[in-house]
Structure 1
Amino acid sequence: MSKKILVYYFLLFSCSLIAQTKVGGTVKDEAGAPVAFANVMFKENPSVGVITNDDGSFYLDTDETYKTLVVSLLGFATQEIDLTKRVTYDIEVVLTEGEQLEEVVVYSGNMSKKNNPAIDILRKIWAKKRVNGLHQYKQFEYDKYEKVEFDLNSIDSAMMKSKLFKGMEFIFEEIDTSRITGKTYLPMFINEAVYEVYGDNNLGKEVERLTGNRNSGFSSNQNIISFIQDLYTDYDIYNNYLVFFDKSFVSPLSRTGIDVYNYVLNDSAFIDNKWCYNIVYYPRRKNELTFKGDFWVNDTTFAIKDINLQVTRSANINWVKDIYIEQEFEVVNDSTFLLKRDYMMSDFSLNKKEKSKGIYGKRTTVYDNYVFDKEKPRSFYEAKVDPYNEKAYNRDEAFWETSRLEKLNEDEKKVYTMLDTLKTVPKFKKLYSLASILGSGYIEVDKYNFDYGPIFSTFGYNEKEGVRLRVGGRTYFGRNDMWRIEGYTAYGFKDNQFKYGISGKVLLDRKTRLILSGGNRRDVEQIGVSLTATNDVLGRSFASSSVFTTGSNNTLTDIKLSTLAVEFEPAKNFVFKVQGSHRSLRSALPETFSLSYVDIESPTGVESETNQFEMMTSIEFTPKRKTMGYGVERIDVNDDYARYALLYTSGIKDVLNSDFDYQKLQLYYRQPINVGGFGRLTSTLEAGKTFGEVPLGLLSVIPGNQTYFSIFNTFPNLDFYEFVTDTYVSVHLEHNFNGRLFGRIPMLRKLNLREIVGVRGVYGALSDENIALSAPTSIPLRAPDAEPYWEYSFGVGNIFKVFRIDFNFRGNYLDIPGARPFSVTGAFGFSF
């Protein structure tokens, strides 16, 4: 930690009266070099301690009063420092080479896997982990209290005097100092929730019921709860990998831990009348997703008593400077250790420099009132489609006084009052509105319960319309509206024509999520960019408005679409939908692209427009999907769930002048998987078959990509309509190694780049009858039936934290005229 930051502690001393002992400083060796991973703790309570950072700095903050600080590390003599003052920020500890603590048996000074006693203890932890804690009982129940807080950190005088906070200076009366980092912070948001948790180990079932929730404002409770659940997912330290921010970190208790961590048996002591060993661990290599810290483990059950984990500063993760975790376990009896308290702090920042300002995200979870072996019927654990409990969001102060398992401190109590005042400040209202616009894409017009947008769709371009301007909006009374109407109009300055779209939906029954929807649209569209397409009235493909394309994009379609649908959710994340639709399809650029087909009833024998009425039945299953809100629209808050979809479409001739009879069966499967420490694999499988004769506009087009953007589930080296099928099977695989390979190359390590590889292929067929039917079209009709078409790509992600570039190679069908053997695509995005 930079020494200059210590000045802030002195300035803010009067604002931090809650803690009883605060110490901070640096640890060095005799040569003056910083000592990383040294163990710093209070002699009176060895379980209260930290590990020094890469620069040898440390900071400890506790509500208790302690008199002696102990600093130790294998190979150095232990130092004890008397604490003469309650607050000491400038301690400098010099470790000299010498013997380790007398209680510890050290076999050798290196970290050998064979001769290391810490590794022997680790193996016993692995053997016992499935019989410790809640696993010992058939059934279990407990209460859970969760407190989440977000704070501005690194508050200094310059920030206080900034024009940004002019008129809001009163908020700085609530600044405090972090007990983990020693940095000043200002609480800005707090959310509290109380749950009842029930589980059955025999059934493998667990259910969590929210009984109370409240927050300090700014947004609806449902939004905050969903955001928190995704940002701070539950984890088990005994698992091999701990997943945070879509990244898999190797647990220090992992069976693969001995390959990525160094372990040192550092101490032994009685904790809660149980003899425990203290093991310090730190990573063997930089830039990997690992932790540093220590843990105390019982010598009989080999259950963890206390553990702390801190993500190393060099870890390949964006926008997060620090992650710190503490877990405390309660000794219930001689053989049972149960989780008592879980604390996690994340320091979000634009960069990892010590002085950089950012936001703390802190979650504290307390567990109590355990009850065991109280059996409940299987039906008790069945998930509800709509678990919203209105009473939980309207609890009085008496409920919170009795239900909190950990009391709020004085600063936390003041947050509610401070934020209520802050929301009345005009300048803050403007800042909050700006943040909302950037986050949602809509400008709220509260007076009329209307949102204008999305603003990101205002401008577009294609060869039919030229420059395209779009205006639109939606009704908006709140996140949980039971009904909503949306619409837009657009104008093309080249074709001088207006387009429009309007849709509406209403939630008729919350218990089954019975929804009735419908809409109408007249627009220009690039169809055939998705195999498993849905008739979304307001949806618009990525290729319809691309300013820059590879070659000429002249395969656009004038589309008229009307739909009416009903859907319901009989079981959680299981959606059944029936939809009727009528489409009219005609080429938007008939001089270069034709959708014509043979029609013996036409005077010319050729028809240029396809009119089709369809009935579609779909079943979609999304296990482990989490959603935001309980109104007619819900927003996904996680993306790590699988999606299974089965669609059956029936084209019915003569209904509303429909032209064709046919049936289409389609299957869609998508699965993102965190492959341990090797990154994240995303896979998609699609298959489909059309029964009956249909023209080009109703066939399944293999999705090409003539833009310069990397878009998953498309083929970047295919042009639009290069392959057309009535039968297909498509597979896409993309793996992001999250820097595991680049992190081991010295010249690339500091750049935190991430390597991405992809393989994709498709097999398809097209009947002679369908080819003959679409003979008048201007493009050659071919399918990848001789052999599956395939591509592969190599990409580099996280360039400047926001950019990705992919190099795409075509595997075969290189003899097709105009075939593109190679392409370069890229994408912008923010990810951890």
Structure 2
Amino acid sequence: MNYRRFLLLLFFISLSTVVFAQNTVVTGTVTDANNHHPLSYVTVAFTGSNIGMNTDDKGGYRLQSVKPYTQLTVSFVGYKTATLVVEPGKEQTINVKLFPEAKQLNEVVVKSAKREKYRNKDNPAVELIRKVIANKPKNKPEAYDYVEYKQYDKLQMSFINVSEKLSEKKFFRKYKFLLDNKDSTALPGKTILPIYLDEQLSQTYYRKNPEKKKTIMIGHKSVNFGSFMDSEGFGTYFQRMYSDADIYKSNIFLMTNMFLSPIADDAPTFYKFFITDTITNGNTKLVRLSFTPRNTTDMLFEGDIYITLDGNYAVQKSDFSINKNINLNWVRGMHINEDYEQNPDGRWHLSRADMQADFGTSKKGNHGIFGQRTVTYKNYIVNNARPDTTYDGEAVEMSPDVKSRSNQFWAENRLDTLSKAESRVYKNIDSLQHMPSFRRTADIATLLLAGYKGFGKFELGPANTFYSFNPVEGFRLRVGGRTTPELSKRYYFETYTAYGFKDQKWKYFLSATYSINDKSIYRFPQHYIRASFQRDTKIPGEDLQFVQEDNFLLSFKRGVNDKYLYNDYYKLDYVHEFENHFSYSIGLRNWTQSPAGSLYFQNIENGQLHTIDKLTTTETNVQFRYAPHEQYYQGKLYRTPIFNKYPILTLDLTNSFKNVFAGQYGYQKIRFRLDKHTYLSQLGYADIGLEGGKIFGQVPYPLLTIHQANQTYAYDLNSYNLMNFMEFVSDKYASLKIDQHFMGFFFNKIPLFKKLKWREVASVKSLWGNVSDRNNPTLHPSLYQFPVADNGVPITYTLGGKPYVEGSVGIENIFKFIRVDLVRRFDYLDHPDVSKWGIRARVKFDF
């Protein structure tokens, strides 16, 4: 899934836009005309104005004004002053070459002087930003008792500088209608080819007490790529990447990272502030406050904010970007612009937020992907109470006809305009996805990226399971597939068959699923019933998901790995998800386990050792899950959750029936799990998992909790990476797992690591548990004896008075996608075939 998401991400990456209004925007670089070296601290200003700046250490500058200035003045000591023509109302690039000015200078005596160090104390710029911070609560929309507004959200993605000759090549001639739909006005100096567009129109109502925010979707329109990819899923993922860039929030989430706002409470600790201008916009007096990171490699912005001097100290406009030295993959540049309008009471609200990003595999280059997002707010009304029914119901309400609005509806209700190239995207992509040649190409891409080969109503795969090997089965061949919504949106079937050449046994799986809500079972909200049967091998352990154990890459394991189970599973499952992201499922399972390889089931009765061929249980399971505000990247036949800041709570209750369908044991089991993705601003983020469980009743060791070990060389986030299979069992346990990603916060201060863009990561996993006396085979010989190795040394243990603990430190973002961890095991080192240290690797694509 990570490979598919990464490659599709590069194919469709970014959405965050600046749609250029009537502002005059000039960017460029100032260099020496003779040696072409960049010139720092050159004064660049609109002629006849007080709007200007000094160039940075690379000679770069960026000026912007709502006034139609027509000239630019560039001056620097020792060089001839240059005056250049500017086109008002446009964004343009003007690179300037300054010529040295030949003058006879008198003798000059230069004495060293101590440069004044930047400090917060007695700094008027810092005093001003502290006033902005102090007044934030009253300037936020939540300061009002009631707020309502209409919102238009446009996401667009384009290729940059597609060659003019491409459409003339034989293979691409049939796509000429698509390749010629270019726009040369949106991005100065470059042409863009729009290929993705998503529009949403909504009405939002906010009530302060009791607090409730409700959004009613009015219209939603998106390009449709057909079965090749899920356009709605991409829209959700991109909106997640470019969530609302609200400067009033302490942290702004962009590109899966948290950026500290320049008006966050602790902003003066991380930013430098400078008062660079005082201007009047209408009747409003503003201070232009420039800011830059203290450390240019941290997740921070640089730019300008305009502060009102009316006593509110509100942000009237913001214009900022990310620093070029930041440790961020694939992103060559990002710019954000926010405009605010004044309310009747004199306060200000956000009226327009524009974002744009330039993506590529390298920092330099003229080709890549350009993403845009524009959000426009209109009809802003404050303190107008609505009936309570207005705020009732789900946070987001969408009627069935929202996605079927007519072209006339959009022409009349858009709060922004589409460019000529954007307006053609819908028709072009619709024509594209109906072309047989494109469908064949997309089919091949799906096989390479997702592992499935489509045949209309059925698809074959996944390809990475066709061949694998293990000590019990030897070489293993598998073939399988599943039906698609083209066969039915109500009925789904999945199957595979596999054969092991060493044990000479067939394995197979078959499931039939009925969708109760007539929606795809791979899309939210799920509501279905499924019956399945599976006969296959499994490594003993809790939730190892052995359906995927025959992935070829998982065939390589360390240590002894010859204790398997043959399993027969008969299952009936009912799953029901609700719009508020609460879900429950009910399952019935009849499970027969038979030992394989060197594994065995033995007990002692009347002083005699008995060997048991199989163990059968009949269980019912109820699971409750709550994942508030959970979002998915979901396609036609898959879905993947997208991390957010909210916790995920899961409660499992299991009851096993004795003497029902040959069930041999009666017991109860309870398990609770909490997962939290925690953002720590400049310190990155942490994934935290807390879990606990208990078994009530007397059971043999295969039915105890067999703690999830990992004997592969891949770093597994959920397993104990230096624990052996079947090493520990418990009937009551608790665990804590923390995986901390610092996102280069420390490495960025080290020159070599800074250049390599490496990032530091650390984790700790701890497990407490025990086996009660009633489940101890030493005290109750009729229970299955814990297995031992051929030399009589035990291989399965209980956790005693101390926990199992392992930790790791590692480096991620090696070559932008590899993570390597040095893992340390701290306890139970006297067990056989265990390692105190280990090196594990993991592939992960991230920004």
Q: Shorter-chain TM-score: which interval?
A: 0.7 to 0.9
Match of 2:338 among 312, 327, 344: 327
Structure-2 change in CA distance of 1:89 and 1:716 (3 Å): closer
Contact 1:742 1:748 in 2 (8 A): yes
Match of 1:244 among 225, 248, 254: 254
Contact 1:717 1:810 in 2 (8 A): yes
Shift of 1:575: 1.1
Match of 1:400, SS state, is: helix
Matched, 1:484 2:492: yes
Deviation per CA, 1:347-381: give whole Å up to 9, x if none.
2211212x152111111110001122233466654
Q: Which residue of 2 aligns with 1:124?
A: 131
Aligned-residue CA RMSD (Å): 3.7
Deviates more, 1:114-123 or 1:165-174: 165-174
Q: Which residue of 2 aligns with 1:818?
A: 833
Match of 2:688 among 675, 683, 687: 683
Q: Which residue of 2 aligns with 1:411?
A: 421
Q: Which residue of 2 aligns with 1:298?
A: 308
Whole-Å separation in 1 of the counterparts to 2:414 and 2:443 = 33
Structure-2 change in CA distance of 1:499 and 1:44 (3 Å): farther
Contact 2:217 2:396 in 1 (8 A): no
Matched, 1:112 2:115: no
Match of 2:351, SS state, is: strand
Match of 1:121, SS state, is: helix
Q: Which residue of 2 aligns with 1:697?
A: 702
Structure-2 change in CA distance of 1:91 and 1:174 (3 Å): same
Alignment of 1:768-807 (within 5 A): 768-772=773-777, 773-775=783-785, 777-778=787-788, 780=794, 781-807=796-822
Matched, 1:707 2:712: yes
Shift of 1:658: 0.6
**TM-score, structure 1 length as denominator?**
0.87
Q: Which residue of 1 aligns with 2:568?
A: 560
Shift of 1:554: 0.9
Structure-2 change in CA distance of 1:510 and 1:697 (3 Å): same
Deviation per CA, 1:542-579: give whole Å up to 9, x if none.
89972221112112111111111223245611112221
Structure-2 change in CA distance of 1:186 and 1:480 (3 Å): farther
Structure-2 change in CA distance of 1:160 and 1:71 (3 Å): farther
Match of 1:313 among 317, 324, 328: 324
Whole-Å separation in 2 of the counterparts to 1:473 and 1:206 = 44
* AA aligned opposite 2:536: D
Structure-2 change in CA distance of 1:88 and 1:391 (3 Å): closer
Whole-Å separation in 2 of the counterparts to 1:816 and 1:22 = 68
* AA aligned opposite 2:730: T
Match of 1:433, SS state, is: helix
Contact 2:590 2:617 in 1 (8 A): yes
Match of 2:217 among 197, 205, 210: 210
Whole-Å separation in 1 of the counterparts to 2:76 and 2:260 = 23
Alignment of 1:655-694 (within 5 A): 655-694=660-699
Contact 1:650 1:661 in 2 (8 A): yes
Q: How many residues align?
A: 795
Match of 1:333, SS state, is: coil
Alignment of 1:740-779 (within 5 A): 740-772=745-777, 773-775=783-785, 777-778=787-788
* AA aligned opposite 2:580: K
Match of 2:797, SS state, is: coil
Whole-Å separation in 1 of the counterparts to 2:806 and 2:431 = 58
Shift of 1:283: 2.0
Alignment of 1:542-557 (within 5 A): 546-557=554-565
Contact 1:526 1:543 in 2 (8 A): no
Alignment of 1:73-92 (within 5 A): 81-83=84-86, 89-92=93-96
Matched, 1:520 2:503: no
Deviation per CA, 1:11-51: give whole Å up to 9, x if none.
xxxxx99999785532248996535698967569999x999
Whole-Å separation in 1 of the counterparts to 2:707 and 2:517 = 38
Match of 2:307, SS state, is: strand
Matched, 1:594 2:570: no
Deviation per CA, 1:258-295: give whole Å up to 9, x if none.
23322221111112421111122222223221222112
Deviation per CA, 1:582-625: give whole Å up to 9, x if none.
10111121xx222344578x997442311000111111111221
Matched, 1:34 2:38: yes
Shift of 1:309: 1.9
**TM-score, structure 2 length as denominator?**
0.86
Matched, 1:398 2:402: no
Structure-2 change in CA distance of 1:542 and 1:351 (3 Å): farther
Deviation per CA, 1:679-714: give whole Å up to 9, x if none.
111111111111111112111112221100000121
Shift of 1:328: 0.7
Q: Which residue of 1 aligns with 2:106?
A: none
Whole-Å separation in 2 of the counterparts to 1:136 and 1:378 = 19
Q: Which residue of 1 aligns with 2:59?
A: 56
Q: Which residue of 2 aligns with 1:611?
A: 616
Structure-2 change in CA distance of 1:585 and 1:507 (3 Å): same
Contact 1:442 1:451 in 2 (8 A): yes
Deviates more, 1:638-647 or 1:337-346: 638-647
* AA aligned opposite 1:787: K
Matched, 1:67 2:66: no
Whole-Å separation in 2 of the counterparts to 1:88 and 1:617 = 62
Whole-Å separation in 1 of the counterparts to 2:347 and 2:21 = 33
Shift of 1:52: 6.4
Match of 1:656, SS state, is: coil
* AA aligned opposite 2:403: Y
Match of 1:286 among 288, 292, 296: 296
Structure-2 change in CA distance of 1:436 and 1:599 (3 Å): farther
Contact 1:577 1:617 in 2 (8 A): yes
Q: Sequence identity of aligned pairs in percent? A: 27
Alignment of 1:150-299 (within 5 A): 150-157=157-164, 165-177=172-184, 179=186, 182-219=189-226, 222-299=232-309
- Structure 1 spans left out of the alignment, 5+ residues: 1-15, 98-107
Deviates more, 1:648-657 or 1:301-310: 301-310
- Structure 2 spans left out of the alignment, 5+ residues: 1-18, 102-114, 520-524, 778-782
Contact 2:20 2:91 in 1 (8 A): no
Q: Which residue of 2 aligns with 1:467?
A: 475
Shift of 1:831: 1.1
Shift of 1:65: 5.5
Matched, 1:370 2:380: yes
Structure-2 change in CA distance of 1:544 and 1:765 (3 Å): farther
Match of 2:508, SS state, is: strand
Structure-2 change in CA distance of 1:112 and 1:67 (3 Å): same
Contact 1:295 1:304 in 2 (8 A): yes
Deviates more, 1:261-270 or 1:793-802: 261-270
* AA aligned opposite 1:147: K
Match of 2:363, SS state, is: coil
Matched, 1:453 2:457: no
Structure-2 change in CA distance of 1:556 and 1:519 (3 Å): same
Contact 1:141 1:370 in 2 (8 A): yes
Alignment of 1:716-755 (within 5 A): 716-755=721-760
Deviates more, 1:428-437 or 1:725-734: 428-437
Q: Which residue of 1 aligns with 2:104?
A: none
Whole-Å separation in 2 of the counterparts to 1:20 and 1:623 = 41
Whole-Å separation in 1 of the counterparts to 2:452 and 2:715 = 26
Matched, 1:827 2:842: yes
